[in-house]
Amino acid sequence: MLPDFFADDRFSDSLRLAAQAAQAAGQIIADGYQDVQKVEVKDVGDLVSKVDFDADRAATAILENDGVTIVSEELNPEANDESADMWIVDPLDGTTSYLMKGGSHISSTLVAKRVGGETVVGICYFPLTDEWFYAEKGQGAWRNGEPLRLTPDDKPLGECWVEMNQYGNQGYETPFFARARTALRSAGGAQIVTSGFPHAGIAMRIAEQNSGLAVAIHDNNADNLKQGPWDIAGPQLIFEEAGGVFLNPDGERTNLFQADPIIIAPSRELAMRVLECVQRA
């Protein structure tokens, strides 16, 4: 049964269906957390397990009732028509952290719906901590029944914590990401730069604004996607509805079907300070 806050009349049936799918996948994730998993290696530092596939099946089985195309990371990763109405699912984001027991606050299930070429519903559910982040286009963002709204931070980049979401396989690292790592760790850069377990849900941790984390940069390369549509759609909608930005290295809004690095920040002004820092390098 979904939490009571999803019964609010302001929310659509599509949001509730997305939440049901995320909850079904999340239950599998929670049940499997203490079990020994058979791990498959997609690439260096890129792992997948039976839980990923089982969670994908659980989520898509619910979304099939809507009669809309489903794009999911493990079972159906191809989006043949990017303008078509579709559900987009990442059944287990943060798999490496999940398998390595890197922290219960990292792994999530991401579900989004696209209508008319726009993301209109987004869910980011952390099943190990039972935290819900969600949004509908034009309706704002929410966390566990409470409005989620970013307070723009005007502090200089030199006082900011930046998290770098890198490839496990350095061979896919983009020139932009390499420059950013160097620039942000130099004089005139950020106060501190870290690289923990990569996960798309980090945008939600920025949106909470209960730590010093201010910016996340995801590397992304068309030769080997690190941030596919399933990683981007839900978090982007939630974060933007909360008042933040997802930008590419040209300062343009992130296109979830285009493989560019992503800068996530609570304001465009702070994101542009990051980009200016990288451009000076």
Residue 171 carries which side chain, given as an amino acid letter?
G
My answer on whether 38 and 103 are in the same domain is: yes
Place of tokens 């890197």: 102
Task: Give me the CATH number covering residue 258.
Answer: 3.40.190.80
What is the number of structural domains in the chain? 2
DSSP string of the chain?
---GGGG-TTS-HHHHHHHHHHHHHHHHHHHHTTSPPPEEEEETTEEEEHHHHHHHHHHHHHHGGGTSEEEETTTB---S-TTS-EEEEEEEE-HHHHHHT--TTT-EEEEEEEETTEEEEEEEEETTTTEEEEEETTTEEEETTEEE--------GGG-EEEEE--SSGGG--HHHHHHHHHHTSTTS-SEEE--S--TTHHHHHHHT-SSEEEEEE--BTTB-SS-HHHHHHHHHHHHHTT-EEE-TTSPBP-TTS---EEEESSHHHHHHHHHHHHH-
What is the per-residue pLDDT for 82? Answer: 86
pLDDT of the chain, 281 residues: tens digit per residue: 899 999 999 999 999 999 999 999 999 999 988 775 556 556 544 546 888 899 999 999 999 989 999 999 989 888 878 889 999 999 999 988 988 889 999 999 999 999 999 999 999 999 999 999 999 999 999 999 999 999 876 789 999 999 999 998 899 999 999 999 999 999 999 999 999 999 999 999 999 999 999 999 999 999 999 999 999 999 999 999 999 999 999 999 999 999 999 999 999 999 999 999 999 98
What is the per-residue pLDDT for 99? Answer: 87
Of 148, 183, 200, which residue is a domain's last?
Answer: 148
My answer on whether 100 and 195 are in the same domain is: no
My answer on whether 11 and 80 are in the same domain is: yes
- CA 272 distance to own-chain centroid: 20
Of 148, 169, 190, which residue is a domain's last?
Answer: 148
| Structural domain that includes position 179 | 157-280
Give the dihedral sign, CA 239/210/200/135.
negative
My answer on whether 33 and 91 are in the same domain is: yes
User: To 10 degrees, the CA torsion angle through 15, 245, 257, 6?
Assistant: -10
My answer on whether 65 and 115 are in the same domain is: yes
My answer on whether 67 and 165 are in the same domain is: no
Q: Kindly provide the b/e burial profile for residues 238-261, where b requires at least 16 CB atoms within 10 angstroms of the residue's own CB.
A: bbbbbbbbbbbbeeeebebeebbb
Task: Give me the CATH number covering residue 12.
Answer: 3.30.540.10
My answer on whether 224 and 193 are in the same domain is: yes
My answer on whether 177 and 237 are in the same domain is: yes
Q: Kindly provide the b/e burial profile for residues 77-109, where b requires at least 16 CB atoms within 10 angstroms of the residue's own CB.
A: eebeeeeebbbbbbbbbbbbbbbeeeebbbbbb
My answer on whether 115 and 18 are in the same domain is: yes
My answer on whether 18 and 132 are in the same domain is: yes
Q: How far is CA 140 from CA 137, 144, 169, 246, 259, in A?
A: 7, 13, 37, 16, 27
What is the per-residue pLDDT for 44? Answer: 45
My answer on whether 167 and 85 are in the same domain is: no
For the chain, how far is it from start to end, CA to CA, in angstroms? 52
Kindly state the tokens that stand for 75: 């079972």
Report how far residue 177's alpha carbon sits from residue 278's, in angstroms, rounded to the nearest whole number: 9
What is the per-residue pLDDT for 41? Answer: 58
My answer on whether 244 and 205 are in the same domain is: yes
Whole-structure pTM value: 0.95
